[in-house]
């Protein structure tokens, strides 16, 4: 998609975001294009996951009001919270925020958010459904001298920062499912994807990707194969802008502490929100299944599984954790 088309879509969204009806002719006049071209842009928005209705002699109306993330306000929020050296960019459309921060485009202390991802990913290569301007999708570039062996608990630390941010916005009761799921009463609110590159002995480039369901419609989420929910079901008045700004601040503080003291500094906090603790679970790893009861995590962030043969540590990687009856 061209940059010009990107700008036109953003302008169109800004005109429609109040949730009222807008005639095709009025929209065409605002963008200096034809009504037929407005129709094409609306089809593009629908393909990107934006839900609207079209009524003869009334025009187009979004099914629910929306807001676009404001890059300048996010940058101001970081500066006012002692983070003037952090950079923030917001894209309307991208393939994947994680991909956009990899390799030559990597930047330490950079936040990259997008309103839509065409190739968003979760752990183990799963697709991350990313409808336009409905949820939160962002990645953080973070360079560290910590050896890779000490980064096992990083996704847990990110999850704890998100829970602390949500708590600061009055959202309570959110839990974490090891190693990277954010959940509420058994339903998925979001997930975390950590990707590493660089020298395994130090100077690692870390890309931290986060997706949070905010106000996703059920139609675009039909491909999701597990129970999920939106954050706005818990806090209807909390905006995406508020959640992202608060989370960035909490994540910065958590990363500083993690680099200084490792995951051990977070172990007690994890136990308070550990959805797996005391639950019967199965660990699927390399075509093998290990059953046991969740017993918390150790000082490295490894899951502790109580089995008939004793306590077994499970390390994050190509593993899948499932609850069982």
C-alpha distances in Å from residue 318, one per residue of 99, 125, 151, 274, 314: 20, 10, 15, 20, 11
40 is catalytic: no
Query: Are 123 and 193 contacting, i.e. CB atoms less than 8 angstroms apart?
Result: yes
Kindly name the residue from 110, 121, 183, 188 that is annotated as catalytic: 188
Query: Are 157 and 258 contacting, i.e. CB atoms less than 8 angstroms apart?
Result: yes
Structure-token match 């005639």, residue found: 23
Query: Are 296 and 277 contacting, i.e. CB atoms less than 8 angstroms apart?
Result: yes
121 is catalytic: no
322 is catalytic: yes
Kindly name the residue from 110, 123, 177, 183 that is annotated as catalytic: 123
The residues annotated with a catalytic role in the active site are 123, 188, 322
């Amino acid at each position: 998609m061209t940059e010009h088309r990107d700008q036109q879509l953003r302008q169109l969204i800004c005109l429609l975001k109040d949730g009222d009806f807008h005639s095709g002719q009025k929209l065409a006049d605002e963008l200096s294009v034809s009504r037929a071209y407005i129709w094409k842009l609306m089809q593009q928005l629908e393909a990107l996951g934006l839900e609207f209705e079209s009524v003869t002699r009334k025009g187009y109306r979004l099914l629910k009001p929306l807001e676009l993330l404001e890059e300048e306000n996010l940058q101001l929020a970081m500066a006012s919270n002692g983070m003037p050296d952090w950079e923030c960019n917001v894209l309307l459309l991208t393939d994947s925020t994680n991909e956009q921060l990899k390799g030559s485009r990597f930047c330490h202390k950079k936040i990259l958010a997008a309103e839509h991802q065409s190739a968003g990913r979760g752990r183990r290569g799963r697709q991350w459904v990313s409808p336009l301007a409905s949820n939160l999708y962002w990645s953080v570039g973070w360079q560290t001298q910590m050896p890779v062996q000490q980064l096992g608990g990083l996704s847990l630390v990110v999850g704890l920062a998100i829970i602390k941010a949500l708590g600061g916005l009055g959202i309570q009761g959110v839990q974490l499912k090891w190693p990277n799921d954010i959940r509420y009463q058994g339903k998925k609110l979001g997930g975390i994807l950590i990707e590493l590159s660089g020298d395994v002995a130090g100077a690692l480039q870390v890309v931290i990707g986060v997706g949070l369901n905010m106000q996703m419609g059920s139609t675009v989420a039909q491909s999701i194969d597990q129970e999920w929910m939106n954050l706005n079901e818990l806090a209807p008045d909390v905006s995406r802008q508020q959640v992202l700004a608060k989370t960035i601040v909490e994540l910065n503080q958590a990363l500083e502490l993690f680099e200084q003291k490792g995951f051990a500094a977070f172990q007690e906090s994890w136990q308070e929100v550990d959805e797996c603790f005391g639950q019967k679970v199965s660990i699927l790893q390399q075509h093998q299944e290990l059953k046991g009861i969740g017993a918390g995590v150790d000082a490295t962030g490894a899951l502790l599984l109580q089995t008939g043969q004793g306590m077994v540590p499970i390390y994050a990687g190509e593993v899948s954790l499932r609850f069982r009856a």
